Amino acid sequence: MNDSLVNPQSRISRLAFFHIDTPLLLGLLALIGYGLVVLYSASGQSERMVEGQLVRLGIAFAVMIGFAQINPQTIRRWSLPLFLVGTALLICVLLFGHIGKGAQRWLDLGFMKFQPSEIMKLAVPMAIAWFIASHNLPPRLHHLLIGFIMCAIPTLLIAKQPDLGTALLISTAGIFVLFMAGMSWKLIGFIIALISAFAPVLWTFFMHDYQRRRVLTFLNPESDPLGSGYHIIQSKIAIGSGGVDGKGWLQGTQSQLEFLPERHTDFIFSVLSEEFGLIGVLVLLVIYLFIIGRGLLIAARAQDNYSKLVAGSFTLTFFVYVFVNIGMVSGLLPVVGVPLPLVSYGGTSMVTMMAAFGIIMSVSTHKRSLAKT
Amino acid sequence: MLKKRVAMQDVAAETRLFNHRALFAMVFVVLMFGVIIANMYHLQVTSYQVYQTRSEGNRIKVVPLAPNRGLITDRNGILLADNRPVFSLELVPEQIDDMAATLSELAELIEISEEQQSNFLKEVRQQRRFNSIAIKEQLNDEEVAIVSVNLHRFPGVTVEARLSRHYPFGNLFTHALGYIGRINTTELARLEESEQLANYAATRDIGKIGLERYYEAELHGTMGYQEVEVNNRGRLIRVLRSVPAHSGKNIRLNLDVGLQLTAQQVLLEKRGAIVAMDPRDGAVLAFYSNPSYDPNLFVHGISSTNYNALLNSPDRPLINRVTQGIYPPASTIKPHLALLGLETNTITPSTRIWDPGFFQLPGVEHRYRDWKRWGHGWVDVYTAIVESCDTFFYDMGVKLGIDRISDYMQSMGFGEKSGIDILEESNTNMPSRGWKRARHNQPWYHGDTVAVSIGQGYWTVTPLQLLVSTAVLLNNGMQPTPHIAKELTDDLGTDSVSTSLKSSTPVVNPRNWQVIRDAMLQTVNTQKGTAFNAFRGANYTSAGKTGTAQVVSIAQDAKYDANALDERLRDNAMYIGYAPADSPTIVIAVTVENTGGGGSTAAPIARQMLDYYFSAGVNNDE
């Protein structure tokens, strides 16, 4: 495996024939296997939930393998149309969308409900990469500006639903493309300064009450131990009481006795921390680091700029998911509804994420044929 | 061409630029993972103890277990207060799919009132869904049977048994035993002050009056507890540790069921009190106040109708007449006064006075009449006690003076609390100059002394004080402390309630004491004795003294006519006595309100009590 990490093209395995990147696949399988073990415990030993997760993982893997078969150049050609369709759907959601939990995110297609913002998680970085890569790197200022606008439109539409978490993740994915493309450090500094200045405006005009409450709770969770601070306090108790070696699988009192809210979805990391301790956390982080490292390596070795930018952006977005989720359950970041990728119980986002890995695999395995042309 | 060359240059630069950015990103990712790890280290290693403690605090709850209250039995082990299971019909809302249907089906089986149903539904809304809530309490046997047979049809419905205090003899022992009831705020504060509150965490009831209150600490026992694991909704998951409760001590009383029943039967509708004890150690053998009431009413919370009926009854059933009934002692204290006369040499056994039927203070017209209008003639101390001559005592009393009377009578227990093991004991009055000055701001007059000399006027006693003072007469100045409880038993052993006598009244000449006892013996056993008729034919020798207390003062020269007076203004009948006369094992005090003469009403009651006492051999084990 080390061998193939260093040089993915050193041998043509049977998996490579199916355009599967072996190290990435092994990393994902390790993550998913670990995740299922934790989920069994976090779901209160519900075999039904684990089976459901397996079914979704099967679909997600099928989607990943499917995307891996598509030549990056084909994907590149589809980037802009996908972006335009996604934007149109976002507008539809705002007009006709299904309202759930105070937010309007779903589009009811009759046979299924569907979240267009999931498409945009892929479409935004793809479209920006398509645009930036069609010019020389580093991008000129006006190209960057167009990139920002392409990023801002869906972000604002999603923020309006309101789904601030997803909006921020999508804009992050877009900005990662610009960053990887070589946006100047000066401009990066300027943007950070601008965002800092913009934050109070965002607070006053764009944030909903529940979002503000989340931030306030994040700043001082103990101020409201039975209300909105309850989640984060219980989560920290779960993590902290796990200690170095954890309470043991299925032995986590915080999770098994349901003191921990949303234990099988957003807070599954707390279950892992409680039952497997710091050691279990380090194992998880090593797996994530391996996947991210492999993703960045694939991006670096990609032969065209579009592939580099897309693979790099997807990988960094994956990292952001991991960091935001762990940061939020351990009290470093405010509580935003971000799942722990490929571990949390849940549907749509998992499929989107595996589609992204499919595209990364496609980038990794289609170089030879690209070189031939 | 140019464009292509520029593009060619860019490929290398672009790759270098991208690789830099990728490397930077990787370093950034590693750094951020470092932040996560540092935070994890802080939570899981540095602050481990804090979170570990909070996690345990979350899951472990301590559930207190109530101890079983100690049982109370009579001297022969017959249960007077026990704990019985009380059944209630309870429902767990979480386990019931269709509450309305379940309720209506249950209501078809047993009677459940609209009020019970609406109270239950109100409770359901306030409680957690998995808590068991009672819809009907105190099911009778039939209802328990009907519901139990049908339980399989009702998932989530149970019949729960809880221990509840029960007094099988109903009103027979009420004033001695008292009763228990729900703990109120005053009692809560008292428990907190005595640092007993924690021990009552699982206890609903507390001794309210009587022995139940006096021996609360012993009867209650020690709370146990279970450490249980609960989930976030407080539902019990499993028991981690269990420390059983330690039952309260069982109390065996000196009282005898047979004597109590006799007391109740002889008093019947009459208001009064009967109290008897062993003069040698203060063991209370009988303790009955009539009318009584059923203490079981109070255990489950008495209804206001029932309570008001008790409270407002003209017969005052709530008053414990033995210790709270305040009566003039009347002639029953003549032996005590005579003893003081002898001990102070105010009289001798041979001193005689002429009784013309009245007494006059020097230089005063007012005649203090004897109960015998034509007088007793020549009277010595024996005759004065046997025939209960008032004039003799008027004369002697005035010679003694109030100061000596007051001091001496206090030493015999008058005006003092007896120290019996119930707390409901009233203050009585042994009058003195100082008392009258303080109370009425008046000097003491000779006339006051005259009234006191025959146990009237300002002097008041409880039946229990009469009893104790009589025991002092028998014990040559040694005073027993009456105690209803005989012994307290738990697993560790049996403790006897202290029976020591205290030296209370100074003895100048023991022969004087024998004189008084002889006079009391003659009261019962000679033809002229006021209690002769009552005890004629008894197969034991007893001694005693009658008393007839005026409730209202009779105008000068007017004749007391019982029929003309309102029933509640008629004389109280009193009797004190003991047996066997030579070495007494029982001393008794009988007080009957508004029934007339002590010899005609109270003495026969004492006779029946003593008859039972000897025929049943109540105190034979001593």
**CATH number, residue B108:** 3.90.1310.10
Q: Is B389 annotated as a binding residue?
A: yes
Q: What is the pLDDT of residue B232?
A: 72
Write out residues 215-234 of B within 8 Å (CB-CB) of A: 229-233
Task: Name the B residues in 496-535 with CB < 8 Å from any A CB.
Answer: none
Least confident of A305-314, B114-123, B403-412: B114-123
| Residue A105 confidence (pLDDT) | 66
CA-nearest of A362, A5, A363, A300 to B15 is A300
Q: State whether residue B9 sits within 8 Å of chain A by CB.
A: no
Contacts of B10 in chain A (CB under 8 A): 136-137
Q: Which of A345-354, B254-263, B369-378, B448-457 has the lowest mean pLDDT?
A: A345-354
| Closest chain A C-alpha to B156 CA, distance in angstroms | 23
Give pLDDT, residue A121. 92
Supply φ then ψ for residue B139, to 5 degrees: -70, 145
Candidates B22, B48, B51; nearest CB to A299: B22
Q: Do B332 and B214 lie in a common domain?
A: no
- The average confidence (pLDDT) of chain A is 85
Same domain, B233 and B270: no
Among the listed residues B125, B428, B46, B500, the one whose alpha carbon sits nearest the alpha carbon of residue B282: B500
Question: What are B95-117's pLDDT values in tens digits?
Answer: 788 888 888 888 888 888 888 88
In which band, very low, low, confident or very high, does the pLDDT at A371 lie, cut at 50, 70 and 90?
very low
Contact list, B13 vs chain A (CB under 8 Å): 137
A299 touches chain B (CB under 8 A): yes
- Residue A167: the pLDDT is 87
pLDDT class of A227 with cuts at 50, 70, 90: low
Residue B481 pLDDT > 70: yes
pLDDT of B171 strictly over 90: yes
Interface check for B7 against chain A (CB to CB < 8 A): the answer is yes
Give the best-scoring range by mean pLDDT among B133-137, B195-199, B528-532. B528-532
Higher pLDDT, A340 or B363: A340
Q: Are residues B133 and B88 in the same domain?
A: yes
* Residue B314 covered by a domain: no
- pLDDT given for residue B615 in this prediction: 92
Asked if B18 lies within 8 A of A258 by C-beta distance, the reply is no
pLDDT of residue B116: 83
Long-range contacts for B99-106 (Cβ within 8 Å, ≥24 apart)?
A: B99/B124, B102/B154, B102/B156, B102/B157, B103/B135, B105/B153, B105/B154, B106/B135, B106/B147, B106/B154, B106/B157
pLDDT surpassing 60 at residue A134: yes
pLDDT at A23 over 50: yes
Question: What pLDDT, on a 0 to 100 scale, did the predictor assign at position B410?
Answer: 93
Q: Does B55 touch chain A (CB under 8 A)?
A: yes
- Chain A hits for B45, Cβ within 8 Å: 243-244, 278
Mean pLDDT of all residues in A311-338: 90
CB contact under 8 A, A258 and B54: no
Asked if the Cβ–Cβ distance from A240 to B43 is below 8 Å, we say yes
Which of A53-67, A193-207, B28-42 has the lowest average pLDDT?
Answer: A193-207
* Backbone conformation region of residue B298, classed left if phi is above 0, alpha if psi is from -120 to 50, else beta: alpha
Whether the pLDDT of residue B338 is over 90: the answer is: yes
User: Torsion angle, CA of B252/B258/B262/B265, rounded to 10 degrees?
Assistant: 100
Cα A311 to the chain's mean position, in Å? 13
Instruction: Say if residues A268 and A38 touch (Cβ distance below 8 Å).
Output: yes
Examine the pLDDT at A364 and tell me if it is beyond 50.
yes
The proportion of chain A whose per-residue pLDDT surpasses 70, expressed as a percent, equals 85
Question: What's the pTM value of the predicted model, to 2 decimals?
Answer: 0.68
- Does the pLDDT at position B2 exceed 50? no
Domain holding B224, by residue range, is 63-253
Query: Do B197 and B284 belong to one domain?
Result: no
Contact A304, A133 (CB under 8 A): yes
The region of weakest confidence among A36-45, A290-299, A327-336 is A327-336
Q: Which residue among B10, B39, B58 sits closest to A136, beta carbon to beta carbon?
A: B10
User: A327 to chain B: nearest residue by CA?
Assistant: B36
- Shared domain for B268 and B369, answered yes or no, is yes
Chain B closest-CA separation from residue A189 CA (Å): 15
Question: Cα separations (Å) of A120 from A144, A153, A361, B251?
Answer: 19, 11, 20, 82
Tell whether A177 is within 8 A of chain B (Cβ). Answer: no
Average pLDDT, chain B: 88
Last residue of a domain, one of B204, B235, B253: B253
* Residue that has been written with the tokens 């355009």 in this structure: A19
Is the CB of B240 inside 8 Å of chain A's CB atoms?
Answer: no
- Inter-chain touch A285–B51, beta carbons under 8 Å: no
DSSP tag of B291 = S
Distance (Å) from the alpha carbon of B172 to chain A's nearest alpha carbon: 54
Top-confidence residue, A360 or B225: A360
If you count residue pairs, one on A and one on B, with CB atoms under 8 Å apart, how many are there?
136
| Between A5 and A213, residue with greater pLDDT | A213
Q: How far is CA B356 from CA B341, B353, B359, B370, B554, in A?
A: 21, 10, 8, 9, 19
Q: What is the pLDDT of residues A331-358, one digit of tens each?
A: 888 777 788 999 999 767 888 999 999 9
Whether residues B288 and B226 fall in one domain: no
Residues A84-111: pLDDT tens digits?
Answer: 999 998 888 888 766 655 556 666 655 5
Domain identity same for B378 and B420: yes
Q: What DSSP line would sit under B549-591, residue for residue?
A: E-SSPPPTTPPP-GGGS-GGGSPEEEEEEEESSSS-SEEEEEE
More confident residue, B375 or A229: B375
Q: Given pLDDT bands bounded at 50, 70 and 90, which one contains residue B6?
A: very low
Q: Is A370 exposed, middle or buried (0-12, 13-18, 19+ CB in 10 A)?
A: middle
- Who has greater pLDDT, B129 or A359? A359
- The answer to whether residue B33 neighbours chain A at the CB level (below 8 Å) is yes
- Average pLDDT (A248-259) is 87
Position B23 in a domain: no
A322: nearest CA partner in chain B: B33
Return the pLDDT at A247: 92
CB contact under 8 A, A285 and B229: no
Report which DSSP code applies to A347. S
Q: What is the CATH number of the domain that holds B408?
A: 3.40.710.10
Q: Which chain A residue's Cα is nearest to B17? A: A182
Residues of B in contact with A331 (CB under 8 A): 39, 43
- Stretch (H or E) spanning B46: none
For B310-352, the three-class secondary structure string (H helix, E strand, C coil) is HHHCCCCCCCCHHHHCCECCHHHHHHHHHHHHHHCCCCCCCCC
Residue contact B233–A326, C-beta within 8 A: no
**What is the per-residue pLDDT for B44?**
94
ipTM, interface predicted TM-score of the complex: 0.90
Q: Was B376 annotated as part of a binding site?
A: yes
Q: Which residue has the higher pLDDT, A200 or A154?
A: A154
Place of tokens 């946006």: A183
Residues of B that are catalytic = 331
Q: Is B18 within 8 Å of A327 when comparing Cβ atoms?
A: no
> Considering the domain boundaries, does residue B27 fall inside one?
no
B588 vs A256: CA distance, rounded Å? 70
Residue B566 backbone phi and psi in degrees, to 5: -60, 145
What does the block give as tokens for B73? 């039995």
Residues B146 and B192 occupy one common structural domain: yes
- The pLDDT, as a whole number, for residue A195 is 81
B43 Cβ under 8 Å from any chain A Cβ: yes
The beta-carbon neighbor of B52 closest among A241, A316, A332 is A241
Quick one: B206 and B338 in the same domain?
no
> Would an 8 Å CB–CB cutoff place A243 in contact with chain B?
yes
Query: What pLDDT was estimated at residue A372?
Result: 39
Residues B1-9, mean pLDDT to the nearest whole number: 45
Minimum Cα–Cα distance from B8: chain A residue: A136
Chain A within 8 Å of B58 (Cβ-Cβ)?
yes
Look at chain B and report how many structural domains it folds into: 2
Among B532, B513, B523, B516, CA closest to B600: B532
Same-domain pairing of B553 and B449: yes
From B12, which residue of chain A is nearest by alpha-carbon distance? Answer: A137
- Asked if B486 contacts B509 with a C-beta cutoff of 8 angstroms, the reply is no
Residue A44 touches chain B, beta carbons under 8 Å: no
Beta B250-253 vs B72-73: how paired, if at all?
A: parallel
Same domain, B356 and B235: no
Q: Which two tokens stand for residue B380?
A: 């010595």
State the pLDDT confidence band at A6, using cuts at 50, 70 and 90.
Answer: very low
Q: Given a cut of 80, is residue B409 above it in pLDDT?
A: yes
Residue B44 lies in a domain: no
Contact criterion met (CB < 8 Å) for B10 and A240: no
B552 and B607 together in one domain: yes
| Domain boundaries, given as residue ranges, for chain A | 26-69+224-368, 78-207
User: What gap in Å lies between CA B472 and CA B133, rounded to an integer?
Assistant: 58
